[in-house]
Structures are given as structure tokens and as C-alpha cells.
């Protein structure tokens, strides 16, 4: 096997960055295939903390090449900042490659993201709680066929023609709908052409780059952003992100055949969190929720917002495992549950007197679903030093086994702390957590 997809199996922030970082240590290429700067992938190496928004989390592995794929919407201004800060930490940027087919987040996208949110607030429909990175409006333009792609930025005249057309539309929206001043064509053109010149060395035809890598027998990790519950089709629409976050989109967003993907891994937290608006059946409003938030340091890396915390939702967990056809699941942050005397898992929902096993598409109904819990004893001991499954208390092993049964996907590893190496491969899995192991 040479291509592995890693996806978020909840509402994002599951620890994908950490897993991708560990997998990258033995991978040749890591590719981001969707999303944009809304992602915040967090990796600790020793005492240094790295947060990746647009650069794939594989970049800290010294020999791994990292591709920002065609399915991504990229913000050149913040990408350049991210690249500069990585260079300042000694990271070799010659391993970064940007798809010429990726779409560019323009200043009007970030502005409209915020204005649309304000509008939703003002009209009483409630905002979506976006990350205000312009991701949604950029995908809208992609599908409206007025997007500007990386390849367009490099062609000074073509860029001006395309920008003039779309900016005319956006300025009418800004002035007539939102009462804002218009944006200047000249200023945007010269600013973004400047970015294009800086980014030029990184820009490649990523689909041929990846196909050649595949033909040469390289190992490739496709790094998902967000999570399946934020997927535009299968998530809690409209409280979702604007891209397809499921494994099914990994091939299209990278430019590889779906046949080339041999292994799909879903990353879950041992509990569940959500940032932003939208229903969350197992959300906790009590001291247990606060305990999870504090022990798990549940603060969004992109927006600084507090994450909502709740018990593991196995109804959603199983739905996501099936949607993605997970070969494996990884359960992160098990140590956050260390001190709890008892732990609950939601096994089904009660809706209008009926027991259901699937999340309804209708959000009003999902909002009415009451979780039905199973309760298990906690282990009430520190597991952060555990190095193998044998070091885990039996109550922790029982919890993992129960989650595994409920989601119907094998749990191949758990994490017991935030650092590299605090990931335990489980004995009952033939697969180890690093890619060589996973691909053995
Ligand atoms: P990573 O990759 C958690 C959420 C936002 C909001 C909704 C829409 O770090 O797991 P958007 O800006 O995408 O239009 O916002 O999606 N959201 C995330 N939540 N982790 C993320 O990424 C997220 N990216 C977007 O909070 O509710
Ligand atoms: Mg995040």
C-alpha cells in the first residue's frame, strides 16, 4: 500500500495534525486536499509547538515533501506568513509544493465571510460561527466559475482580466448590499501579483507531481482538514464547512485516482468537541464538560474560541466510520479522561419516543435527539506514561474496546499525551501507527 488517507471523524480538531506528523516520519509526501486556513493542525516536537493552517503537517519530517493540493483554497498572504515563520524555525521550504489548480482566497472572500456572518446575526437566523478565513466564499466562487486559481495569479494579464470581472461583481455586493466602500482593482492586483512572485518557486502541476511520486513507489499521506461532521453533504448542514471533508474527496482534491487509495484512517477524540454553532447531542454543560475543556486544553487554534465538549457520540462515530469506509480508527486524548470516576458513551438517540441509530438529516430533529448513554467505570489514574496497551488500566482497555465495537471500525492506536511518541499502537491490530507499520 502506498497511499493513506487520514480524515477527521468528528467536528474537527481531533488530532489529525499530530497523527499526520507521526505518519510523515516514514512517508515521502503529505498532501492537503481540501479546506484552507480554517484548519489548525497542531504538532508538538519536544518543547516547540507548531500550528499549521495551510502547510501540511508533514513538513516537520525532514525528508517529506508537502503538497497543497488542487482541492484547497489558499490565502497567499497568510500562507507566506506561515512559510516565513517555519523558515525562521529552520524548516527547509524547498519541500513545499503548491498546486497551480488550487483556488486563491482573495480579500473580498475574507470580507464577505465576516459580512455574511454579521448579516445572519442581524437577521436573527444566527451565524454559522465560521473561522472568518474566507473559505466558504472562495469555494462559492470556485463553483460559480469566477474563482481565481494559482495558475491565473502567475499570468499578469489574465489575472487582471479575471479580477476585473469578479471584482466588479463583488464591489456591487459590497457597496449595494453591505454599504461598504469598494475595493481597488489596482491595489489587489499589485498586492496579489506580488504574492504570486513570492510563491512562484513552490508552484507545481501537483497532479502530475503526485502521479509520478506514486509511479516511483513513494508513500503518500492525504491529510484531511476539518472533520466528517463538518462535511458539506454529510455534516450538520448548514453548520458545516464549505468543502467535502470525507475520504471520498481525497482523490479529487489531490488529483489521484480513487483506486490508488489503499488505506483510510479516521481520527476521533476519546470524547467529542465542536467549535462554532450547530447541534451537538452529547454536549455537556456541567462540571464534566468544563473538566474536559480544561484538561484537554479545548481552545480553537485558528480562532481562539472555546470548544464545546461532550461525551463520545457513537451514533455519529459509527455513521462517520461507515461513510468513510474506515480501515482503522485512532482514538486521541484518552488521557484527558484520566480522572473521571465514570465515563459515558452515547449509543443511540431517543427522538419523539423512538430509539434511533442514525443521525437525522433534518437539523431541527437532530437538535431534539436525546442521547442514550451507557456508563463505564473510569480508571482514575495517570496514563500519560503508558507505552503499550499492557500499560493501560483494564478500565481504559474496556473503554477502547467498547468504542471500537460501537463504531464498527478497528481502533489501531490511542494517544495518551500531546507529544510525538505518546501514541500507542494497540496489540490486537496488525497495524502500527507509523506509516511503515501501517503499510506492512
Ligand atoms: P481542523 O482542520 C474545527 C468549523 C467552524 C465553523 C464551521 C464553518 O483544525 O480540524 P468555516 O470557516 O470552515 O466556513 O467554518 O466549521 N471549522 C472547524 N472546526 N476544526 C477545524 O479544522 C475547522 N474548520 C472549520 O468553527 O463551525
Ligand atoms: Mg483545529
Contact (Cβ atoms closer than 8 angstroms) between residue 30 and residue 64: yes
Name the residue with higher pLDDT: 16 or 46: 16
Give yes or no for residue 434 having a pLDDT over 60. no
Q: What amino acid positions are annotated as catalytic residues? A: 13, 41
Average pLDDT over residues 105-111: 98
162-166, 248-252, 422-426: least confident range: 422-426
pLDDT at 427: 54
The domains located in the chain, with CATH, are 3-100+202-260 (3.40.440.10), 104-198 (1.10.300.10), 268-425 (3.90.170.10)
Nearest bound ligand to CA 16?
1
Going by pLDDT thresholds of 50, 70 and 90, the confidence category of residue 420 is confident
Contact (Cβ atoms closer than 8 angstroms) between residue 270 and residue 344: no
> How many CB atoms sit inside 10 A of residue 176's CB?
9
Average pLDDT over residues 277-289: 97
User: Ligand 1 centroid vs 36 CA: distance in angstroms?
Assistant: 10
pLDDT tens, 383-418? 999 999 999 999 999 999 999 999 999 999 999 999
Q: Minimal CA–CA distance to 106: which of 15, 13, 185? A: 185
The residues placing their C-beta within 5 Å of ligand 2, an ion, are 13, 40
User: Ligand 2 centroid vs 160 CA: distance in angstroms?
Assistant: 34
Give yes or no for residue 431 having a pLDDT over 60. no
**Ligand 1 binding pocket includes 13 (Cβ within 6 Å):** yes
Contact (Cβ atoms closer than 8 angstroms) between residue 33 and residue 224: yes
> Which cell is 62 given?
525532514
**Ligand 1 binding pocket includes 43 (Cβ within 6 Å):** no
- Counting from 1 in the atom list of ligand 1, the atom nearest the Cα of 276 is 27
273 strand-pairing partners: 309
User: Ligand 1 centroid vs 345 CA: distance in angstroms?
Assistant: 24
**Ligand 1 binding pocket includes 128 (Cβ within 6 Å):** yes
> How many CB atoms sit inside 10 A of residue 440's CB?
10
pLDDT tens, 84-101? 999 999 999 999 999 999
Protein residue with its CA nearest to atom 10 in ligand 1: 12
Average pLDDT over residues 294-309: 90
pLDDT at 378: 98
Give yes or no for residue 207 having a pLDDT over 90. yes
- Counting from 1 in the atom list of ligand 1, the atom nearest the Cα of 136 is 14
pLDDT at 440: 37
**Ligand 1 binding pocket includes 369 (Cβ within 6 Å):** no
Q: For cell 453548520, what's the residue? A: 239
Mean pLDDT of the chain: 94
**Ligand 1 binding pocket includes 275 (Cβ within 6 Å):** yes
Give yes or no for residue 433 having a pLDDT over 50. no
Amino acid at each position: 500500500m502506498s497511499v493513506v488517507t487520514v480524515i477527521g471523524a468528528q467536528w474537527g480538531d481531533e488530532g489529525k495534525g499530530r497523527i499526520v506528523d507521526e505518519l510523515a516520519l516514514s512517508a515521502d509526501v503529505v498532501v492537503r486536499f481540501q479546506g484552507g486556513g480554517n484548519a489548525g493542525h497542531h504538532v508538538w516536537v519536544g518543547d516547540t509547538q507548531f500550528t499549521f493552517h495551510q502547510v501540511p503537517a508533514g513538513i516537520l519530517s525532514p525528508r517529506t515533501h508537502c503538497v497543497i493540493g488542487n482541492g484547497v483554497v489558499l490565502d497567499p498572504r497568510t500562507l507566506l506568513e506561515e512559510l516565513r515563520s517555519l523558515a525562521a524555525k529552520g524548516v527547509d521550504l524547498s519541500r513545499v509544493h503548491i498546486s497551480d489548480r488550487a483556488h486563491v482566497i482573495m480579500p473580498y472572500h475574507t470580507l464577505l465571510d465576516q459580512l455574511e456572518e454579521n448579516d445572519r446575526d442581524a437577521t436573527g437566523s444566527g451565524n454559522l460561527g465560521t473561522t472568518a478565513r474566507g473559505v466558504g466564499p472562495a469555494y462559492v466562487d470556485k463553483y460559480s466559475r469566477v474563482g481565481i486559481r494559482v495558475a491565473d495569479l502567475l499570468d499578469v494579464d489574465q489575472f487582471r482580466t479575471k479580477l476585473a470581472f469578479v471584482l466588479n461583481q463583488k464591489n456591487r455586493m459590497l457597496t449595494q448590499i453591505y454599504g461598504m466602500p469598494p475595493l481597488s482593482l489596482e491595489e489587489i492586483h499589485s498586492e496579489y501579483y506580488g504574492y504570486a512572485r513570492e510563491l512562484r518557486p513552490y508552484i507545481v502541476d501537483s497532479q502530475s507531481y503526485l502521479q509520478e511520486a506514486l509511479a516511483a513507489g513513494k508513500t503518500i499521506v492525504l491529510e484531511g482538514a476539518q472533520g466528517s461532521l463538518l462535511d458539506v453533504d454529510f455534516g450538520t448542514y448548514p453548520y458545516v464547512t464549505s468543502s467535502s471533508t470525507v475520504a471520498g474527496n481525497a482523490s479529487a482534491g489531490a488529483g489521484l485516482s480513487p483506486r490508488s487509495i489503499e488505506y483510510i484512517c479516521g481520527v476521533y477524540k476519546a470524547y467529542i468537541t465542536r467549535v462554532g454553532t450547530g447541534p451537538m447531542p452529547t454536549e455537556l454543560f456541567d462540571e464534566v464538560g468544563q473538566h474536559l475543556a480544561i484538561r484537554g486544553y479545548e481552545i480553537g487554534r485558528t480562532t481562539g474560541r472555546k470548544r464545546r465538549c461532550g461525551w463520545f457520540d457513537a451514533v455519529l462515530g459509527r455513521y462517520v466510520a461507515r461513510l468513510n469506509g474506515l480501515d482503522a480508527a485512532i482514538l486521541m486524548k484518552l488521557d484527558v479522561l484520566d480522572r473521571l470516576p465514570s465515563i459515558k458513551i452515547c449509543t443511540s438517540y431517543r427522538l419523539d419516543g423512538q430509539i434511533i441509530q442514525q443521525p437525522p438529516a433534518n437539523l431541527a430533529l437532530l437538535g431534539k435527539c436525546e442521547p442514550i448513554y451507557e456508563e463505564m467505570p473510569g480508571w482514575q489514574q495517570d496514563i500519560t506514561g503508558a507505552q503499550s496497551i499492557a500499560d493501560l488500566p483494564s478500565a481504559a482497555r474496556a473503554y477502547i474496546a467498547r468504542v471500537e465495537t460501537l463504531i464498527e471500525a478497528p481502533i489501531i492506536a490511542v494517544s495518551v499525551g500531546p507529544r510525538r511518541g505518546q501514541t500507542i499502537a494497540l496489540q490486537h491490530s496488525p497495524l502500527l501507527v507509523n506509516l511503515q507499520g501501517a503499510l506492512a
